[in-house]
Amino acid sequence: MSSYIIESNKKKSRLPARLDFAQSATGLLLGLFMWVHMMLVGSIILGKEMFYNVAKTMELAFLSPDGQGYPILVFFAAATISTLFITHALLGVRKFPISWKQHRIFRDQMQMMKHEDTNLWYVQVITGFIMFFAGSVHLYTMMSNPAGIGPYMSADRIVSGGMWPLYLVLLICVELHAIIGLYRLCLKWGWFTGKNPAQARKKLKAWKKRLSVFFLSIGILALLVFIVIGIKHRDNVGEKYVKKSQAAEQVEAAAGSAEETQ
């Protein structure tokens, strides 16, 4: 009987640790995904052709006979990320202050302690809450229209589809949330902390700042480039971008058929 009680207590006490581990693991995967995602989206800074090539490579266009790729892969990627995103959010909700009173007590303590890492936790709660809505809209768009990624189609969505305010809010939230999350993970699991924890914390903080500035700059610049393309393309919404080499072939073919008819 007593061994049964000890056994059941053991089981009970393991659950929070397992949930914590699952939250860390899903957070790590999402944080790393976001950095890769930002670099891929940021390719628009290098031009429309570059973004088109990146998007088509992600759709494995080099394997498809017509060179158009397999947009269904975007659907599967977005569905996988959505599953991680929802799991991570549900695990995070456990730690939210659940009433206004709890929230007030936490805010009062935060002001009293003035402890930077506690403030960072609060930033994560707020950004996580906003991302739950804004991120879901974006992921749903990617799943419902997986073939709609391209320099013109993305820019049209951002300008003519009115998505830019959502992307701006999402961008700020996701970058802050991801970098704070990865910083806290390093401290929690002792990654890159070395033998002197105080010095390591300082170094990690410096990296946190550098990486935030780097990814936020790429994100904001990419958004501005999309906005400029979208404004210029306002009168041709829906038109797809044609790769330079294909456009040249089309012009040649048109010139050839014009000569034939003369």
Instruction: Note the residues at the interface with ligand HEM (CB under 6 A).
Output: 37, 41, 74, 77-78, 81, 85, 131, 135, 138-139, 142, 149, 154, 157-158, 167, 170-171, 174, 219, 222-223, 226
Rg (C-alpha) for the chain, rounded Å, is 24
The structure tokens 């010095």 sit at 199
3-state secondary structure 72-141: HHHHHHHHHHHHHHHHHHHHHHCCCCCCHHHHHHHHHHHHHHCCHHHHHHHHHHHHHHHHHHHHHHHHHH
Picking from 20, 35, 30, 4, the residue whose alpha carbon sits closest to that of residue 211 is 35
Q: Which is nearer to ligand HEM, 167 or 183 (CB)?
A: 167
Q: Scan for tokens 């659907």, then name that residue.
A: 75
Question: CB 167: neighbour CB atoms within 10 A?
Answer: 21
**Min separation Cβ 133 and ligand HEM, Å:** 10
| Closest separation in Å from C-beta 125 to ligand HEM | 16
Task: Report, in Å, the least distance between residue 85 CB and ligand HEM.
Answer: 5
| Nearer to ligand HEM among residue 158 and residue 186 (C-beta) | 158
Residue 72 in contact with residue 146, Cβ under 8 Å? yes
* 153 vs 186 by CB, closer to ligand HEM: 153
Residue nearer to ligand HEM on the CB measure, 106 or 164:
164
CB of 138 to ligand HEM, least distance (A): 5
Give the nearer residue to ligand HEM in terms of CB position, either 171 or 204. 171
Residue 74 or 176 having the CB closest to ligand HEM: 74
Closest CB 106 distance from ligand HEM, rounded Å: 25
Contacts of 146 (CB under 8 A, 6+ apart): 71, 72, 73, 74, 75, 78
> Smallest gap, in angstroms, from Cβ of residue 1 to ligand HEM?
49
